[in-house]
Amino acid sequence: MSQTVAYVLGIVVLIIGIGLSVALHELGHMIPAKRFGVKVPEYFIGFGPRLWSVKRGETEYGVKAIWLGGYVKLLGMVPPAKPGRADKPDSMVADARAESLAELGPDEQHRAFYRLSVPKKLVVMAGGILTNLALGVILLALALGVVGQSAYTSTLSSVSACVPADVDAAGACADADAPSPAAAAGLRVGDEIRSWNGTPTTTWAQVQGAIRASGTAPASVVVERDGQELTLTVTAVEVTRTVYDADGGVVTKQMGDSTMAPVMWGFVQALRFAAGIAVLLYGVRMFLAEIVPAFRGISQKLLPGSRPALDIPTVFPKSPTAVMIGFLASMVTFLVCMGVFAAAGWFALVPPMIMLFFGGGAAGVFGNATAGWRGAVFGGVLNGLILAFGQWIGWGWYSSTAPELATLADPDWYAIGWLFLGLGKIFEGLGGVGLWIVGAAALVVTVAALLLVRKRSVVSVEGEETEEKTK
């Protein structure tokens, strides 16, 4: 099986696994919500066009086309506006409140999620995370207890007959070739190496380490054969072997994946890709649905009347198909650009998944609102081009000071990069002290701005209350 086929199969398997994980995650939300009386009209796996659904009771269960997420719809997630503090007409908050309560009838208002007590809300919101945690523990236990871990042991599966004159040729032994040290010492297939030159060994890594430590001097080797221990003397010899990469080039530095089998390499790379996508999807969903409400109380204490300052990702749950179209278009465009860059001998890096997702998703939402799915595709392509060329240009700016920022290819750095470069030149002579000065100045400005805004907010709130009393 080639690496390409293994990679594709790994992605397919992991997408299915992500779908099942999402299904269990959403069940962790739905089951306690129904138990507490919350109305749940929809439970779906995936986004985009509906493939299949069935209604049981008041809940519709189904599967959608894009299997990279899912959702459970709990009515009344956003409470109505407080008396005397109506939302601006046609604002995002007003639309969210109206949509949250629209499907609840006059006699069902008590079934809204916001009416639950705080402990019950925490149980519902934490149910998904706890379900995934339990699933992870179960799968890990099965993997370790039933399947086990693959590892090289100290038992010999083969013994070389000779040391060929040309090690790289890997051909059959010639008459002129000297016997291998293992064959000359009498080692056989199935022998378990118990110790090498006095060093106990239970794994192949320990055997290799003991061989390197002994060098070419005669070493006493204890092996177990047919239930009996035998002591043999092995005199190792040094040979030079050339290591080649997948493209036929000579490897001069050992990399972590160079000794990995092609099939396992494919699955590992697929796992990394799928894990990145899962982190993005789960991260955005958890941030919007679970973490943001938790910080509302803190913001209200510091700045009465404040609202969370959230960017375009707040609309991602409302336009999941446009988000995925924009993200996929951005990623494909970026990969094509990297291929062109590599072929031309230019600089190329791996795709910045975070920026491709957030930037591409936002571009897909704006594009879809302007020109439908074609606009979503165009927005994603444009974002991919910006990130590809921005990464290429940004590396030249920041590689000497902060390469991790250049490789991230965050468009924000394109706008404020020159400011930071200028500050770096100004405080260059101060060394580490300059960093403390900049940090302290930023902290002072931030605290002062917060205090000023809070004072104005308190005055505004008090003025509104006074006006209400006058009326």
- Give per-residue pLDDT as tens, 124-133: 888 888 888 8
Q: Which helix (H) or strand (E) holds 163?
A: strand 162-163
**Angle of CA points 5, 9, 15, to nearest 5°:** 150
Pick the most confident of 284-298, 344-358, 362-376. 362-376
Annotation marks residue 428 as catalytic: no
> Which amino acid is it at 439?
G
- State the pLDDT confidence band at 31, using cuts at 50, 70 and 90: very high
**Angle of CA points 160, 165, 169, to nearest 5°:** 75
Handedness of CA 46, 48, 49, 54 (dihedral sign): positive
- State the pLDDT confidence band at 9, using cuts at 50, 70 and 90: confident
**Per-residue pLDDT at 100 exceeds 50:** yes
Residue 470: predicted pLDDT: 44
* Segment 301-314, tens digit of pLDDT: 666 666 655 566 66
- Domain ranges across the chain: 3-149+262-309, 162-235, 323-426, 431-471
Residue 47: predicted pLDDT: 78
220/446: higher pLDDT:
220
**Per-residue pLDDT at 38 exceeds 80:** yes
Span 40-53, average pLDDT? 89
DSSP state of 88: P
In the set 26, 192, 229, 428, the catalytic residue is: 26
DSSP E strand stretches across 171-242: 178-179, 192-196, 199-200, 218-225, 228-235
Pick the most confident of 138-142, 210-214, 410-414. 210-214
CA-closest candidate to residue 319, choices 8, 45, 47, 29:
47
- State the pLDDT confidence band at 404, using cuts at 50, 70 and 90: very low
**Angle of CA points 80, 82, 87, to nearest 5°:** 70
Q: Which of 124-138, 246-260, 306-320, 377-391 has the lowest mean pLDDT?
A: 246-260
Residue 57: predicted pLDDT: 92
- State the pLDDT confidence band at 342, using cuts at 50, 70 and 90: confident
Distance from C-alpha of 77 to C-alpha of 219, rounded to nearest angstrom = 72
186/471: higher pLDDT:
186
Residue 466: predicted pLDDT: 46
CB within 8 A of 330, min separation 6: which ones?
356, 359, 360, 363, 380, 381, 383, 384, 387
Residue 146: predicted pLDDT: 74
Span 275-285, average pLDDT? 59
**Per-residue pLDDT at 292 exceeds 60:** no
Distance from C-alpha of 334 to C-alpha of 340, rounded to nearest angstrom = 10
Q: Which of 53-57, 95-99, 189-193, 378-382 has the lowest mean pLDDT?
A: 95-99
**Angle of CA points 249, 252, 258, to nearest 5°:** 75
| Average pLDDT over all residues of the chain | 76
CA-closest candidate to residue 409, choices 420, 422, 421, 399:
399
- Residue 199, φ and ψ in degrees, nearest 5: -95, 115
Span 342-357, average pLDDT? 73
Q: Per-residue b/e over 130-163, b at no fewer than 16 CB within 10 Å? A: ebbeeeeeeeeeeeeeeeeeeeeebebeeeeebb
**Per-residue pLDDT at 421 exceeds 90:** no
Counting beta carbons within 10 angstroms of the beta carbon of residue 410, is it exposed (0 to 12), middle (13 to 18) or buried (19 or more)?
buried
321/271: higher pLDDT:
321
Is 18 within 8 Å of 70 (Cβ atoms)? Answer: no
Which pTM was predicted? 0.44
CB within 8 A of 45, min separation 6: which ones?
19, 22, 23, 26, 62, 63, 64, 67, 70
**Per-residue pLDDT at 118 exceeds 80:** yes
> Which amino acid is it at 352?
P
Pick the most confident of 43-52, 66-75, 288-297. 43-52
DSSP E strand stretches across 13-78: 42-56, 59-73
Distance from C-alpha of 262 to C-alpha of 267, rounded to nearest angstrom = 9
Span 390-412, average pLDDT? 56
Provide the H-helix boundaries in 186-229.
204-214
Residue 289: predicted pLDDT: 58
Residue 96: predicted pLDDT: 67
Fold of 162-235: Pdz3 Domain (2.30.42)
